[in-house]
Structure 1
Amino acid sequence: MKRLAIAFLSGLFFISALAQDANWTKAERFSADSLEQYIKGKSLYPDWIKDSHYFTYDVSRESGHQYYLVNAKNGKKRNLIKDNERFVLQYARITGDTLDAKNIRLYGFRFENNDFNRFYLDKKGKSMVYNMNDGQLSEVPLIKKRIERPDYKQSCHSADSLYSMLGCGYDLFVRDNQSGRVKRITFDGKEDAAYTYRNSKDTLSANSRGFWLGHRYIYMMQDMSEVKEVSLIHSLGHSRPVTNTFKMPMPGDAGVRQYRLYWYDADHGKGKLLPIEKYPDQVVAMDYFRSSTALYITRRSRKADKVDLCRINVEDGTVTELISEECIPHINLTLFNYKILEQGKYFIWWSERTGKGNYYLYNGNGELLNRITTGENLVAGSIASVDTLGKEIIFAGYGNEENTNPYYTFFYKARLDGKKQVLLTPGDGNHELSLSEDKKYAIDKYSRMDLLPVTSVLSIENPEKNYKVEQMDGSDLQQAGWQPPTLLKVKAADGKTDLYGLMYLPSNLDESRKYPIISNVYPGPQDDQIPQSFALDDNGNQSLAELGFIVINVASRGSSPLRGHDFYCFGYGNLRDYPLADDKYVIEQLARKYPYIDLDRVGIYGHSGGAFQTVAAMLTYSDFYKVAVAASGNHDNNIYIQWWGETFHGLDEKADPKTGKTAFSVNIPTNMELANNLKGKLMLITGDVDKNVPPSSTYRLADALIKANKRFDMFILPGKDHGVVCPYYQNLIRYYFVENLLHESHRHIDIINHK
């Protein structure tokens, strides 16, 4: 009997350990909204002063709000206001207005004539100057500055006003302003393929699409006439439900966006569509650079595996292909970039031809001169600046610094001849760069999820002249109990590839207990959405952890464009399943390392692509994942955005032997095909007016689960688009995991046969 009692008490203890109480007060206390008060006013947003190497910033301190002036040449800073109390008294005497000495807020102050010992301020109809050396605020004569209004010349008129382009109906009409004669020049305009902004009955000067270059008129048309429509019902309309119908091409569609480039020569009265076609259903983009002699376009194949740079001769309308690139299976659409230098004398071109993204220099005829960026592991990102006189660029880069998270952004300068490359922004973290007007100095702000922002200033010419300006004060935040997430470096399911992410722990973690683990997922590939810079309670994961969970967010293979071609293209042809094994393997690794993780209670959740991955994981490893929440998921990528599914899964291309016309087709595996595998607790969420991932994907999954007799939960958020985040949504997720993973409940999953 005694033994039975002991066993009974042990069982109660075990049940109690499983049925942990959720601490809702702590969850709210550690939310971003609650924690923000402890760093309010402590983030730095420096402003460069025009035509100088000085910048200002303001920051809240215990003593009060302070403003600083920094000399970028030597990193020295000084207070803008020598004595806050005295400044407030002087300000009140001049303006009759009051300021809080501990919370002075200055807006619109300025420096004049490169004098950085005094600044000017116009308030309450008064003009003042403050001497930073002696602390004297004085009134000076108010000079009303004439506001320079830019002369916006309507794009419908040529620069010399000899010609005007008008629009009537869907077509263009040109007017010779010397004779007043109006002539129709296009005849094929139609709805969704118009040369005009609107279908007007009269020839209106503000109704023509395009622009003049000299006496040549250019218009890039995007023809949507063959694209099919999608409709949503907005149930919260003011008087009655209304339909929102819009064009949305889907993977494999025959009718997709088409591009046409119209050119008109006003001197000779001739116009035509330029011969830019090369790839069936190609995507065309016009560069911002344009001159009276040349403009440039890129065109890429529908499969996104080929891209060209072309020059348009504005004078005669001829098209010349300069650079052509092929990348199998697809180009890195996130990082691909190019720059036109010296009016087209040179080009900088981004390519993954080595397996990593680098910049290359070409001459104006499209001949390769040399590789610009260097580093075996470097992936070059965006270009921050090009110095054509100094023959160098400043660019973002990833993966080049040893023993550093390859997702962190660093900045480098490199000579255009490729002979020298220098790191500008040392410091283990994710960097942001702000250049001075003349690009000689830069403000570097870097941080990590476990490191509050550090701000420095550096010389571009001599980057070793790097001066620390400020580090965010986190003392109040730490006293409030904030703790950073744990930075993770683990292996992928192949046992070789390093993966990176975050682990959020309850602030009162008891390592002798067992905690459920929840994986917050997003598969990319265009972006993994894991924060690299400092952020509070990103995505509510710390708040969720405070309820009694271990929460992780780890980027799987194929999830990011920042780690080179092979990593980025890992999921090609396998768009549904590619991230699943990695997520499961990561959880198992962590459970071996941290005994307080309970592998019998595993949850998963995500939004958008993360919801798609969530359900795929739940239905593929149905005995492993016990509870899941999936919001706004593209569960059927065959009815999602055309470019996303076609680029990242692949596209079949066949030419009709009779017509020669190319037909495209694709069949992407869906979550619906796995519906019969559901065993655990699943909640589906969608907004009913989501134009990014229309709710039809969620409805189709629900239909498949119903047909499989599966029990699941579903929540429609009325009036919500793709951005469903709100307190109600956040708490739906929290409650679902608390009620089903923390306090395990049992129910039949087969709602028809009760088993």
Structure 2
Amino acid sequence: MRIRYHLTFGLAMCVEIAIAQKSNYISFEKFTLENSKELLYSTSVTPNFLNGGDKFWYSYTTKDGERDVLVDPEKKERKPLLDKALKVSKPRLFTNFRPPLKYYPAAFRVSPDQKYILYSKGYNLFLKKELPEGSETTGKPVDTATIQLTNDGFKDYSYQERDGDTSSGYVLPKAIWAADGRHFYMLRKDSRRLSRMTIVNALAPVPYGKDYVYELPGDKYVPQYEFSIGDVSSAKLKKVDLSHWKDQMVELKGESKDGKQVYFTRKKRTNDEIEVCAVNLADGIVKVLIHEVSKPYLNEQQAYLSFLNNDKEILWYSERSGFGHLYLFDHQGKLKNQVTKGNWVAGRVLKVDTAKREIVLEGYGREKGCNPYYAMIYKVNFDGSGLKLLTPEFADHQIRFSPSGKYFIDNFSRADLGPNAYLKSMDGRLNMKLEEADLSKLFATGWKMPETFSVKAADGKTDLYGVMWKPVNFDENKKYPLISHVYPGPQTEELNIHFSVDGNFNASLAQMGAIVVTMGHRGGSPQRSRAYHTFGYNNLRDFALADDYHAIHDLARTYSFIDTTKVGIFGHSAGGAMVVTAMCTYPDFYKVGVSASGNHDNTIYNRWWGESHQGIVEGDSTFLFDVKTNLPLAHQLKGKLMLVSGDADDNVNPVQTMRMVDALINADKDFELVMLPGQGHIYFGKSKSFFERKMWSWFDRFLILNETK
């Protein structure tokens, strides 16, 4: 057995990379994220609006240099900016603004009428009344007695904003003043018994361990929440019982405009049930407004909640139809109507116009023939009528509204379409092209646009969408190895949607002489149906494997230049875990892999992630969590595997990689280990460059050149 360990100390490691390599790494490096910036001019239009109006200017660079452009939407004019004085930003003028009194420390919360202050000290809460007569002229308050409202505050169960703050002086409290100036309220969290992990700072003069809170799935002790209401007239705190489910999660969602009630959500620990509630500040009575059940789990990536029209209406996101959509409720929680509907997904709400009763939002998968991952922009009336597509181009759109809301700047692109910028009007009458990115310097290097594709999933029915990268010297008459760049989700997918030179490592990898693909897998993006994104529930380790395996074979039947006898796989985080799972599940298919910062043992990974997407079972006294890990698969490894981790990763702790290492050692398997000192979950600087070169070397040697040792 021969196991190689590599650490990034000194230059010796860099020397090893270059040994016996026939490939030209300079061509790889041209298309890294850092180097590709030098190959681009401007790629988007950023408007600078003038005097609060809709007229704006912007700067844009092409091969001919930088130019300034003035745009007048009302006149539908676009012309060179000749008056350069307009580029000088003028100071903002504030009206009806009264600065806070100088004697209030930043750690104090001052009541709306400036008669009371709240602060925290020693983890507890204090109230002090200030009599302002004469204070504004003398700058000195008339001192009054301080009332200590609590004496049960502790570290990690405190009344201060930052639970871990150990300062001895005044500290900003959790308590928030209500608009009526009389009441205040707060949500306190008991985190005293939570699980903790450790990472080691190996680069300090004297190495030391950093301890941090890290909740694990199935933990017996999880945060407990306590809501309190204060009243200045009684100078007391009243605790309100918000409990409904064991180990529920509570979040404050603001207060009513009149300051009479506070909104909050409480969510079941199984993450499949949630309630939107209101608590009356006068009597502490809790009322449930919306009760939502979503099996097997709630889609929190797309969640939306807003109280409109002085709290007379509630806009809420739900997947109750099988697709994520917006619903309108009255202030009592009675459903008025479904706002968006159909076999597509409503995305982010970008603007709500309560006067026009109109909503602008992103939408996914509505337009026939359009990739369902592209954010298309729509407007719709509160009652669900008048749905209109504002951005007809099949691309991923990012918009910015003008101050009046009548116009918007639309920057859009695709993986296979360079950036464009248009000025459009909400009524659809204006569609003015502003810019198209100049990619001449990029194309001069030989860089090629990636290609998009769609294939069927392993079920033979579901469409999977992907992007393919080819080397600059691609020859369709040759056979090429394939590298699958994976991230299975379940909360997102590794899929290039908008224009990118590097494609998140993919362009550089392709220059080795490989076809590089990224694609979605069932169980991934929540921007598709509930059935699609929940496919992997209770199968967190394996759910994406069959789709990737099947899709690669499907691609090879379509593209004869793909060599399925030489398949590699690369991924980071959950993608890193999938690399090992795939290589051990299909050991004769995936021959070479690079697994970066993989969560190989989900029993010690993020509680929310595991409990939501794998599921937990509520027992008599605790919650039970069971999940398959990569560790038992180690004996099935046949291919060339490289494991990578940052030793300062407080997301996927490096012990995840160490457990995989231990399993491989005990299974008498050969592999490569790269530890990056001082690096967290995302790699930066020289360590990132080192990692990229190690990855190129690994695939180059064992996939491209087909070395055996």
Normalised by the length of structure 1, the TM-score is 0.85
- Structure 2 equivalent of residue 287 of structure 1: 253
The code of the aligned residue for 1:596 comes to F
The structure-2 alpha-carbon separation of the partners of 1:421 and 1:455, relative to structure 1 and needing over 3 Å to count, comes to same
Q: Is the 8 A contact 1:362 1:369 kept in 2?
A: yes
Pick one of 714, 731, 751 that aligns with 2:693.
731
Structure 1 unaligned residues grouped into runs of 5+: 1-18, 83-105, 111-118, 123-142, 657-662, 748-755
Greater Cα offset, 325-334 or 315-324: 315-324
Q: In the aligned structure 1, how far is the partner of 2:36 from the partner of 2:489?
A: 29
Q: In the aligned structure 1, how far is the partner of 2:121 from the partner of 2:22?
A: 69
Q: In the aligned structure 2, how far is the partner of 1:294 from the partner of 1:432?
A: 36
Q: Is the 8 A contact 1:166 1:203 kept in 2?
A: no
SS of the aligned residue for 2:449 comes to coil
CA shift, 1:120, in A, is 5.5
Q: In the aligned structure 1, how far is the partner of 2:506 from the partner of 2:536?
A: 26
The structure-2 alpha-carbon separation of the partners of 1:324 and 1:160, relative to structure 1 and needing over 3 Å to count, comes to same
- Structure 1 equivalent of residue 49 of structure 2: 48
The code of the aligned residue for 2:414 comes to R
CA shift, 1:204, in A, is 5.4
The structure-2 alpha-carbon separation of the partners of 1:62 and 1:733, relative to structure 1 and needing over 3 Å to count, comes to closer
The structure-2 alpha-carbon separation of the partners of 1:201 and 1:664, relative to structure 1 and needing over 3 Å to count, comes to closer
Pick one of 190, 200, 224 that aligns with 2:154.
190
The code of the aligned residue for 1:307 comes to I
- Structure 1 equivalent of residue 567 of structure 2: 602
CA shift, 1:30, in A, is 3.5
Q: In the aligned structure 1, how far is the partner of 2:92 from the partner of 2:194?
A: 55
The code of the aligned residue for 1:455 comes to A
Q: In the aligned structure 2, how far is the partner of 1:120 from the partner of 1:202?
A: 43
The code of the aligned residue for 1:570 comes to F
1:263 aligns with 2:229: yes
Q: In the aligned structure 1, how far is the partner of 2:425 from the partner of 2:31?
A: 39
Matches of residues 669-680 of structure 1 in structure 2 within 5 Å? 669-680=628-639
Pick one of 299, 308, 318 that aligns with 2:285.
318
- Structure 2 equivalent of residue 519 of structure 1: 484
- Structure 2 equivalent of residue 87 of structure 1: none
CA shift, 1:360, in A, is 0.8
Matches of residues 680-691 of structure 1 in structure 2 within 5 Å? 680-691=639-650
Q: In the aligned structure 2, how far is the partner of 1:224 from the partner of 1:420?
A: 48
CA shift, 1:181, in A, is 2.7
Pick one of 140, 146, 151 that aligns with 2:99.
151
Q: Is the 8 A contact 2:156 2:163 kept in 1?
A: no
Q: Is the 8 A contact 1:166 1:204 kept in 2?
A: no
- Structure 2 equivalent of residue 718 of structure 1: 677
Q: In the aligned structure 2, how far is the partner of 1:58 from the partner of 1:350?
A: 38
Alpha-carbon RMSD across the aligned residues, in angstroms, is 2.4
1:701 aligns with 2:635: no
SS of the aligned residue for 2:193 comes to coil
Q: Is the 8 A contact 2:195 2:213 kept in 1?
A: yes
Q: In the aligned structure 2, how far is the partner of 1:236 from the partner of 1:225?
A: 30
Q: In the aligned structure 1, how far is the partner of 2:167 from the partner of 2:59?
A: 55
Greater Cα offset, 362-371 or 535-544: 535-544
Higher Rg of the two aligned structures: 1
- Structure 1 equivalent of residue 145 of structure 2: 181
The structure-2 alpha-carbon separation of the partners of 1:468 and 1:144, relative to structure 1 and needing over 3 Å to count, comes to closer
Greater Cα offset, 243-252 or 34-43: 34-43
Q: In the aligned structure 2, how far is the partner of 1:145 from the partner of 1:341?
A: 29
The code of the aligned residue for 1:162 comes to K
CA shift, 1:648, in A, is 0.4
The structure-2 alpha-carbon separation of the partners of 1:495 and 1:202, relative to structure 1 and needing over 3 Å to count, comes to closer
Q: In the aligned structure 1, how far is the partner of 2:598 from the partner of 2:689?
A: 19
SS of the aligned residue for 1:65 comes to strand
The structure-2 alpha-carbon separation of the partners of 1:146 and 1:635, relative to structure 1 and needing over 3 Å to count, comes to closer
Q: In the aligned structure 2, how far is the partner of 1:466 from the partner of 1:486?
A: 28
SS of the aligned residue for 1:516 comes to strand
Q: Is the 8 A contact 1:622 1:678 kept in 2?
A: yes
Q: Is the 8 A contact 2:185 2:227 kept in 1?
A: yes
Q: In the aligned structure 1, how far is the partner of 2:125 from the partner of 2:542?
A: 50
Deviation sequence 1:85-119 (CA, Å, 0-9, x none): xxxxxxxxxxxxxxxxxxxxx7xx54xxxxxxxx6
1:497 aligns with 2:462: yes
Q: In the aligned structure 1, how far is the partner of 2:315 from the partner of 2:537?
A: 28
Greater Cα offset, 686-695 or 436-445: 436-445
Structure 2 unaligned residues grouped into runs of 5+: 1-19, 132-142
SS of the aligned residue for 1:655 comes to coil
- Structure 2 equivalent of residue 371 of structure 1: 338
Q: In the aligned structure 1, how far is the partner of 2:662 from the partner of 2:203?
A: 24
Deviation sequence 1:414-451 (CA, Å, 0-9, x none): 10011221111110100011111221111111111111
Q: Is the 8 A contact 2:643 2:657 kept in 1?
A: yes
CA shift, 1:202, in A, is 10
- Structure 2 equivalent of residue 39 of structure 1: 40
CA shift, 1:50, in A, is 4.3
1:360 aligns with 2:327: yes
Matches of residues 450-469 of structure 1 in structure 2 within 5 Å? 450-460=416-426, 462-469=427-434
SS of the aligned residue for 1:586 comes to helix
Q: In the aligned structure 2, how far is the partner of 1:491 from the partner of 1:55?
A: 46
Q: Which has the higher contact order (CA 8 A, sep 6+)?
A: 2
1:211 aligns with 2:176: yes
Deviation sequence 1:382-428 (CA, Å, 0-9, x none): 11111111011111110101100000001111100112211111101
Greater Cα offset, 281-290 or 632-641: 281-290
- Structure 2 equivalent of residue 395 of structure 1: 361
- Structure 2 equivalent of residue 382 of structure 1: 348
- Structure 1 equivalent of residue 263 of structure 2: 296
Q: Is the 8 A contact 2:536 2:543 kept in 1?
A: yes
CA shift, 1:650, in A, is 0.5
Q: In the aligned structure 2, how far is the partner of 1:503 from the partner of 1:120?
A: 45
- Structure 2 equivalent of residue 653 of structure 1: 618
The structure-2 alpha-carbon separation of the partners of 1:348 and 1:625, relative to structure 1 and needing over 3 Å to count, comes to same
Aligned residues: 667
Q: In the aligned structure 2, how far is the partner of 1:626 from the partner of 1:281?
A: 44
The code of the aligned residue for 1:422 comes to K
CA shift, 1:590, in A, is 1.4
Q: In the aligned structure 2, how far is the partner of 1:259 from the partner of 1:144?
A: 41
SS of the aligned residue for 1:343 comes to coil
- Structure 2 equivalent of residue 70 of structure 1: 71
The code of the aligned residue for 1:193 comes to Y
Q: In the aligned structure 2, how far is the partner of 1:218 from the partner of 1:674?
A: 51
Q: In the aligned structure 1, how far is the partner of 2:43 from the partner of 2:397?
A: 18
Q: Is the 8 A contact 2:358 2:381 kept in 1?
A: yes
Q: In the aligned structure 2, how far is the partner of 1:144 from the partner of 1:593?
A: 59
The code of the aligned residue for 1:157 comes to V
The code of the aligned residue for 2:318 comes to S
CA shift, 1:187, in A, is 2.8
Q: In the aligned structure 2, how far is the partner of 1:603 from the partner of 1:588?
A: 13
The code of the aligned residue for 1:183 comes to I
1:172 aligns with 2:136: no
The code of the aligned residue for 1:705 comes to L
- Structure 2 equivalent of residue 638 of structure 1: 603
CA shift, 1:27, in A, is 1.7
Would you identify which runs of 4 or more consecutive aligned residues in structure 1 move more than 6 Å? 143-150, 198-203
Deviation sequence 1:343-388 (CA, Å, 0-9, x none): 21100011111100111110000000001113x2220011111111
Q: In the aligned structure 2, how far is the partner of 1:144 from the partner of 1:248?
A: 44
CA shift, 1:626, in A, is 0.5
Deviation sequence 1:512-562 (CA, Å, 0-9, x none): 322111100001111113221111111121111111111111111111110
% identity of equivalent residues: 37
CA shift, 1:200, in A, is 9.4
CA shift, 1:34, in A, is 3.8
Q: Is the 8 A contact 2:117 2:129 kept in 1?
A: yes
CA shift, 1:485, in A, is 0.6
Q: In the aligned structure 1, how far is the partner of 2:94 from the partner of 2:545?
A: 63
CA shift, 1:270, in A, is 3.0
Q: In the aligned structure 2, how far is the partner of 1:205 from the partner of 1:324?
A: 40
